[in-house]
Structure 1
Amino acid sequence: MDARVNPLPTELEKSVSHSRPSQAEAEAAVRTLIAWAGDNPEREGLLDTPQRVVRAFGELYAGYEQDPKAILARTFKEVGGYDDIVLVRDIPFHSHCEHHMVPFTGKAHIAYLPHDGVVGLSKLARLVDIFARRLQTQENLTAQIIDAINENLGPRGAAVMLDAEHMCMSMRGVRSQGVSTITHRFTGVFAEDRSEQDRFFAMVGKR
């Protein structure tokens, strides 16, 4: 977890000044939480748990080490003059609520109207993954995805919709299972033209 995947300063590092704990300190924190939960961190089944949890955190929160700009840097201009909606729907994602650090999972739908070329379709899925692998709220995740598309692709318009179930509602608190939360944001032509919004909803299958 100590190894940096990308040497560029992340958004978190730019906005918050802090020293990153060592792996040993992180593992000690996990042992403390195990003891606080009421179990014995020294029993056989839990001896290696702190190391496993820290390693898992390295995967679950890998988005802090990745640069969205690099993902969207390469575009393709030879598209035969295509200038209509490009939609990638049903992109699966999992993230963690920044309030309780429990998962929320769902699907993302991303559309944009090209201005000067298109980006590889897999890059949009990778963009979702970068931001999802951080502590998030669904609203902020929606905004970060579309802002990155606008800043790096400069499309005539963009649309993002997330549909997710939050474990902080289904596993704890009100314990309401099967509840779906939908967030969306439109920019450019999609924000200005209701018919473009309707086209997006129809293509996503929400109308």
Structure 2
Amino acid sequence: MDTVTKTLTPAARSSDPAVPTGPAPSGAPSGAPARPSRAEAEAAVRVLLGYIGDDPDREGLLDTPRRVVSAFDELYGGYREQPGEALERTFSEIGTYDDIVLVRDIPFSSHCEHHMMPFVGRAHVGYLPVERVVGLSKIARVIDIFARRLQTQERLSSEIVTEIDTVLKPRGVAVMLEAEHTCMSMRGVAKVGSRTITTQFTGVFRDDPGEQLRFLNLVRNGIG
């Protein structure tokens, strides 16, 4: 099997997640401050525990700051990863296949940047390959990396499309995200069950309404 692996420059590779301090994490906005130490992060959790009216020194909360920071390391691990690396390796043994490749119903979870509350849903990603395809699990990996950052659903959709389009250079990319936002269902208007749907298209999917419709039919009904 003929495979191609693209090598990113050292500067583009993610920083070591074990390092507690130093420059802003990979993927952080330009000009972001240096990453605080773990001790500073745990102290901040203690402040928040006191702010909500609880006692951070009571038995049940003594280890909570450490647990919260460990959870943050996992939930926001996308800042320390490069999504392009997941798409480095492609495969050419696809015969004459040049039609849509669709991976649908990919579960994901993220956190909104406005309230740091979760939003959970499913992603559907399709692309029209040019001679080469990428491993199907790698598409899910790209979604996870971007989702494990503070997000809006609109930007998450855009980042997934842009990364696949830039690295794979297919004839077109189509993405649909469906999610329930707890910042809407658990607070504020408290509308449980409301879903937000976002879509974005490039190439053939953007320019040909028929291809857009075929993608949507495949997502909804499994038929093109």
TM-score, normalised by the number of residues in structure 2: 0.88
- The list of structure 1 runs, each at least 4 consecutive aligned residues, that deviate by more than 3 angstroms after superposition, is none
Q: Matches of 1:36 and 1:62 in 2, distance apart?
A: 26
Residues 27, 80 of structure 2: 8 Å contact kept: no
Measured after TM superposition, the shift of residue 12 of structure 1 is 1.1
AA of the residue aligned to 2:191: S
- Corresponding residue for residue 210 of structure 2: 195
Identity %: 62
Measured after TM superposition, the shift of residue 74 of structure 1 is 0.5
Deviations 1:115-153 (A, max 9, x none): 130000000000100000000000000000000001100
Does 2:137 match 1:137? Answer: no
Measured after TM superposition, the shift of residue 2 of structure 1 is 5.5
- Corresponding residue for residue 10 of structure 1: 26
Measured after TM superposition, the shift of residue 10 of structure 1 is 1.7
- Corresponding residue for residue 125 of structure 1: 140
| Structure 2 unpaired stretches of 5+ | 1-15
Deviations 1:49-101 (A, max 9, x none): 00000000000000001111110010001111210000000000000000000
Q: 1:78 aligns with which of 90, 93, 98?
A: 93
- Corresponding residue for residue 151 of structure 1: 166
Secondary structure at the aligned position of 1:11 is classed as: coil
**Over the residues paired in the alignment, what is the CA RMSD in angstroms?**
1.6
| Structure 1 unpaired stretches of 5+ | none
Secondary structure at the aligned position of 1:55 is classed as: helix
Residues 94, 131 of structure 2: 8 Å contact kept: no
C-alpha distance 30-2 of structure 1, shift in aligned 2 (>3 A): farther
Residues 173, 205 of structure 2: 8 Å contact kept: yes
Aligned residue runs from structure 1 range 1-207, under 5 A = 3=18, 10-12=26-28, 15-205=30-220
Q: Matches of 2:36 and 2:79 in 1, distance apart?
A: 15
TM-score, normalised by the number of residues in structure 1: 0.95
Q: Matches of 2:35 and 2:112 in 1, distance apart?
A: 21
